[in-house]
Amino acid sequence: MAGSTPSRASILLASCIGTSIEWYDYYVFGSASALVFGSLFFPSFSPVAGTLAAFGTFAVGFIARPLGGAVIGHFGDRIGRKSMLVLTLMLAGLATFLIGLLPTYAAIGVAAPILLVFLRLVQGFGVGGEWGGAVLVATEHATPRQRAVYGSFAQFGVPIGVLTSNLVFLLVVETTGDGFATWGWRIPFLVSVALLVVGMLVRRTLTESPEFQRVRATRQVSRVPAATLLRERPGTLLLASLAAIAPPAVGYTVMVYMLSYGTQAAGFERSTLLTLILASTVLWIAGIYVAARCADRWGSKPVYAIGAGFAVVWAWPLFLLVDTGSVGAALLAFMVAGIVQAIMAGAQGALFTEIFPARMRFSGASIAYQMGGLVGGAVTPLAATGLYSAYHSSTPIAVYLGLLCAVSLVAVLVLPAPSRAAVPEAVGSVR
């Protein structure tokens, strides 16, 4: 029996609220890695080695993300988008809550970092399938001229996750004082269970996307979508993965690495940095919607390329401004970085929807996005920490960041022009 067509508001709300919760979970871990995990779970290391170990644990989540994207993408292309969105939210949410209950190294020794790594893997696996599903459930309900705007609501989840996680951390840092390092850090992880309940209630109201219903009704479902993707679209998958490097490279430099670099090298208070990052996300959110409107009007590929080009240019001024130690200069650095990310984010949902056929789209979009995140997000804080330790200068870090973004710029320019073919009408749910 055909299901009722969901309202535009319910589709966009389900797409936005779920990704916001999942990215809250993910960035809470990033903030804790920069602020306390080194001393709590790797206390026998030197400060630099402890920070590297904490960032390494943070990076483990990125290793699990492509696997999660492939596995969840496989079932998303075979049995549907909706059920996978419920699964990804549950995996990431429960893992985050359990991290808040973990004993530290002082209590249970080496078992503490082992359990931390395991839960980070589960969290990363869930997040790995989240973005593709959230984007597709929105864009596959949209007309071709609305895909970017619809997809932008899933993209809002990244800055909203940053905003809420940093806001909670800022409040906890200010209210718990000396207790932050012993018990206060747990609060942002534990409150995620309430967000999980809200997200599950919203997502259970979704119906399957019209495009997937059409694929299923016409018996075009692929037995192994990833294998079909590698056989039919290997070049597209590679270029999309490379194009996806720049947004997380810029994002994790600001949101994760700067919490460490800004306090240790530039002399900022950690609460000051959290506040500045918090302020920049407001512009980031607004910029995504504006960029999405531009992408629907002029095309997702050129808008994304403009964002990648600005990312290359801004890599050096970003560190130059933070190095001044001025709050105003650092705020400007983070604000412009937010705009740079917003331009790419506003176009990315439509771009990744349009370059992959519906029967392998969940797999293609998820794998490409997560491979880009692995290179741009997982490696960047580690590489930046190592480069600063070796050279005691931000210049090598800026060069590294600029080169990563240049790779994305070239990839998106080479990427074939995406199709803006009309989206078929819904055919109703098929048993």
**Contacts of 80 by beta carbon, 8 Å cutoff, 6+ apart:** 208, 212, 216
For residue range 294-312, what is the model confidence (pLDDT) as tens digits?
999 999 999 999 999 999 9
Range with the poorest average pLDDT among 106-110, 154-158, 182-186, 420-424: 420-424
- Cβ contact 405:249 at 8 Å: yes
SS3 letters for the chain? CCCCCCCHHHHHHHHHHHHHHHHHHHHHHHHHHHHHHHHHHCCCCCHHHHHHHHHHHHHHHHHHHHHHHHHHHHHHHHCCHHHHHHHHHHHHHHHHHHHCCCCCHHHHCCHHHHHHHHHHHHHHHHHHHHHHHHHHHHHCCCCHHHHHHHHHHHHCHHHHHHHHHHHHHHHHHHHHHHHHHCCHHHHHHHCHHHHHHHHHHHHCCCCCCHHHHHHHHCCCCCCCHHHHHHHHCHHHHHHHHHHCCHHHHHHHHHHHHHHHHHHHCCCCCHHHHHHHHHHHHHHHHHHHHHHHHHHHHHCHHHHHHHHHHHHHHHHHHHHHHHHCCCHHHHHHHHHHHHHHHHHHHHHHHHHHHHHCCHHHHHHHHHHHHHHHHHHHHHHHHHHHHHHHHHHCCCHHHHHHHHHHHHHHHHHHHHCCCCCCCCCCCCCCCCC
Cα-based angle 261, 183, 115 (whole degrees, multiple of 5)? 80
Query: How far is the C-alpha of 49 from the C-alpha of 53, rounded, in Å?
Result: 6
pLDDT for residue 29: 81
pLDDT for residue 427: 37
pLDDT for residue 352: 93
- For residue 3, pLDDT over 70 is answered with no
Cα-based angle 270, 271, 273 (whole degrees, multiple of 5)? 65
pLDDT for residue 420: 59
Query: How far is the C-alpha of 238 from the C-alpha of 38, rounded, in Å?
Result: 35
Query: How far is the C-alpha of 324 from the C-alpha of 332, rounded, in Å?
Result: 12
Nearest to 41, CA basis, from 121, 106, 100, 96: 106
- For residue 45, pLDDT over 50 is answered with yes
The region that residue 417 occupies, defined by phi over 0 for left and psi between -120 and 50 for alpha, beta otherwise, is: beta
Query: How far is the C-alpha of 159 from the C-alpha of 199, rounded, in Å?
Result: 17
For residue range 314-352, what is the model confidence (pLDDT) as tens digits?
999 999 999 999 999 999 999 999 999 999 999 999 999
Q: How confident is the model at residue 423 (pLDDT cuts 50, 70, 90)?
A: very low
- Cβ contact 168:28 at 8 Å: yes
For residue range 221-234, what is the model confidence (pLDDT) as tens digits?
888 888 999 999 99
More confident residue, 330 or 55: 330
CATH number assigned to the domain comprising residue 128 = 1.20.1250.20
pLDDT for residue 41: 83
Q: What percent of the chain has pLDDT over 70?
A: 93
pLDDT for residue 395: 94
Any domain includes 431: no
Average pLDDT for residues 275-286, to the nearest whole number? 88
Please give the tally of structural domains in the chain: 1
**Contacts of 164 by beta carbon, 8 Å cutoff, 6+ apart:** 20, 24
- For residue 68, pLDDT over 60 is answered with yes
- Find the domain containing 174 and state its range: 8-414
Q: How confident is the model at residue 97 (pLDDT cuts 50, 70, 90)?
A: very high
Any domain includes 427: no
CB atoms within 10 A of CB 269: 12
| Average pLDDT over the chain, rounded to an integer | 86
Any domain includes 79: yes
- For residue 112, pLDDT over 60 is answered with yes
**Both structure tokens of 145:** 């001229």
pLDDT for residue 23: 81
Q: What percent of the chain has pLDDT over 90?
A: 38
More confident residue, 291 or 198: 291
pLDDT for residue 51: 67
Q: How confident is the model at residue 161 (pLDDT cuts 50, 70, 90)?
A: confident
Query: How far is the C-alpha of 183 from the C-alpha of 317, rounded, in Å?
Result: 37
Average pLDDT for residues 52-66, to the nearest whole number? 76
Average pLDDT for residues 12-36, to the nearest whole number? 80
**Both structure tokens of 204:** 């259970």
The residue whose two tokens read 């090598």 is 396
pLDDT for residue 218: 85
- For residue 44, pLDDT over 70 is answered with no
pLDDT for residue 337: 95
Q: How confident is the model at residue 11 (pLDDT cuts 50, 70, 90)?
A: confident
Any domain includes 104: yes
CB atoms within 10 A of CB 416: 11
Average pLDDT for residues 220-247, to the nearest whole number? 92
Average pLDDT for residues 157-182, to the nearest whole number? 84
Any domain includes 419: no
Range with the poorest average pLDDT among 110-119, 245-254, 367-376, 419-428: 419-428
- Cβ contact 281:331 at 8 Å: no
pLDDT for residue 417: 77
Range with the poorest average pLDDT among 17-26, 237-246, 370-379, 421-430: 421-430
Query: How far is the C-alpha of 170 from the C-alpha of 135, rounded, in Å?
Result: 30
Query: How far is the C-alpha of 173 from the C-alpha of 184, rounded, in Å?
Result: 7
- Cβ contact 294:402 at 8 Å: no
pLDDT for residue 419: 63
Average pLDDT for residues 118-126, to the nearest whole number? 89
Query: How far is the C-alpha of 430 from the C-alpha of 427, rounded, in Å?
Result: 8
